[in-house]
Amino acid sequence: MPGSSRAAAARARGGAGQDASLEPPGTSGADTGGTGDASSAGAGIGGTNGASGTTSTHTSNGTVGSAGGSAAASSAPANHSPISIGVLYAVNDGAQSAGINNGNNYTLKDSMHAFVDGYNAAGGIAGRHINAVYAELHSASSDYESQTQAACATFTQDNHVAVVLASVGYHSDILVSCLAKANVPLIAGDWDAPDQHDADRYPLFVTPTTIVGDARVAAVVQHLTASGFLKPTNKVGVLVEDCPVDQRVYDNALVPALKRAGLTLAATFKPRCFLSIQAYGGQASDIQGAVLQFNRAGVDRVIVVSQAAEANIVALFSEVADAQHYLPGYALSSVAAPAVLALNAPATQLANMQGVGWLPASDTQNLQQAPPTAAGTRCLALMQKQGLRPASNADYAYAYGPCDVFSLYEAALRATNGDAATAAVMRALAVVGPTYVSASTLEGKVTTTSTGRIGAGTARLFAFTGGRFQYTGAPFPI
């Protein structure tokens, strides 16, 4: 739920120093000169000799950005020069005015800055000192997309970053397309993901902690049907956020999934696209009509199609439904942020919520079901050295998402011997993906597609039971 202003984006350099716990094996951690731009030399993936480079590709569905090109010479020395990295995060200054309690004890700003400072104290990311270019997206903004455009300009015009590492929890078509046109990878560490159409078109939009929208809604229908929560006797109502990406997910994935499961689609409703803090109030008004329509149609199961605002829509719908003594069941995903819903939705509505989740820090309030992975443990140690100690679900989510964007990019740079050229990094991600252990995902598991896209690999059923959200079933692949 962010927004940002170009004027608020500032360039900052991290401090010096060493921290042996983060020191990459075999590196000195010292900067050795050079420009540190996206085309710096280094060892490439695949052993191809020659200068590093990129090749823009265009497929029949309009692929934007580069994922190919020749690798840098493997005999080149490791690149330990400074590297310019865009760091994008949400400032949730609109939560209080919206009456939302996220339960966090520190902010995403605190977390993202801690990772930059922690890596630089340890000699940089893969031995390259981070020159961070920061941008903030404020949820109290009156125009989110104009601010994502400004953030992109900060990263690609005012500065020339090698990559953007982000944790915002907001889906921006403008940000994704703008960075792709500049051939800058965007690695996001939250629940937002493209649909399959945009995943094919924008391969530089990397979302290792979540799953493509089409797969998400299909998994919800498939596994909640198998569990018996969704039955042919149910009447399903679908709330489709009125954004182009969500309409595609509904048409291309949810409708076919409902048909395969033999479920009855009784009603649909489109609350407005969430593009500003004012739109949140508008969605609240829209939901009044949705609850009335669904109740009259006899809807007893509600599904939300939204790439990043499922939590908002479910919270709003549940409040209005409760006021009307209407008690449908809700088929959710991790995008609904169940642990945050538990702090905001009426108890009588929470009792009817079940879902499919792959992000333990958001899915289950039983933190014994969400032990840190090896990557998570490493990042928690980094954060503690920076004075941040997570205690709540939101705190852990704010730790693990940033952890994954920095850790995955570090793994790619190690694989390229420090070469940050987009083509080299994208090839490296396809190579390191199958063995990458996530801090955010269930059991740290990810999956890598034939095209190299990395995403969450395992999920579990969750439900509100025993007065809290927790996992209720065994893990399964997604």
Per-residue model confidence (pLDDT) at position 261: 99
Spatial CA neighbour of 213 closest among 453, 475, 473? 453
Q: For residue 365, give every residue at least 6 positions away whose Cβ sits within 8 Å of its Cβ, in sequence order, or none.
A: 338, 339, 342, 393, 468, 469, 470
CA distances from 161 to 9, 183, 434 (A): 13, 10, 27
Per-residue model confidence (pLDDT) at position 422: 98
Give the least confident one: 92-101, 289-298, 410-419.
92-101
| Domain 213-357 class, CATH top level | alpha beta
Give per-residue pLDDT as tens, 201-211. 999 999 999 99
Per-residue model confidence (pLDDT) at position 205: 98
Q: Is the pLDDT of residue 272 over 90?
A: yes
Per-residue model confidence (pLDDT) at position 76: 66
Q: For residue 129, give every residue at least 6 positions away whose Cβ sits within 8 Å of its Cβ, in sequence order, or none.
A: 13, 14, 31, 82, 83, 120, 123
- Model confidence at 99, pLDDT cuts 50, 70, 90, reads confident
Per-residue model confidence (pLDDT) at position 14: 35
Per-residue model confidence (pLDDT) at position 450: 87
Give the C-alpha separation, 285 to 69, whole Å: 50
Give per-residue pLDDT as tens, 49-79. 233 333 333 333 344 444 443 333 335 689 9
Give the C-alpha separation, 152 to 180, whole Å: 10
What value does the mean pLDDT of the chain take?
86
Q: For residue 340, give every residue at least 6 positions away whose Cβ sits within 8 Å of its Cβ, in sequence order, or none.
A: 100, 101, 102, 103, 311, 362, 393, 394
Q: Record the pTM.
A: 0.85
Give the C-alpha separation, 92 to 90, whole Å: 6
- Please identify which residue in the block is written with the tokens 């520190």: 106
- Note whether 6-209+372-457 and 213-357 share their fold: yes
Per-residue model confidence (pLDDT) at position 64: 47
Supply the CATH classification number for the domain 6-209+372-457.
Answer: 3.40.50.2300
- Model confidence at 13, pLDDT cuts 50, 70, 90, reads very low
Q: Is the pLDDT of residue 1 over 90?
A: no
CB 244 within 8 A of CB 307: no
> Among residues of the chain, what percentage have pLDDT more than 70?
83
- Model confidence at 171, pLDDT cuts 50, 70, 90, reads very high
What token pair was written down for 425?
């990094």
Per-residue model confidence (pLDDT) at position 118: 98
Give the C-alpha separation, 47 to 70, whole Å: 10
Highest-pLDDT range among 41-55, 62-76, 135-149, 399-413: 399-413
Q: Is the pLDDT of residue 10 over 90?
A: no
Per-residue model confidence (pLDDT) at position 401: 98
Give per-residue pLDDT as tens, 315-358. 999 999 999 999 999 999 999 999 999 999 999 999 999 999 99
- Model confidence at 154, pLDDT cuts 50, 70, 90, reads very high
Give the C-alpha separation, 23 to 20, whole Å: 5
Domain limits of the chain?
6-209+372-457, 213-357
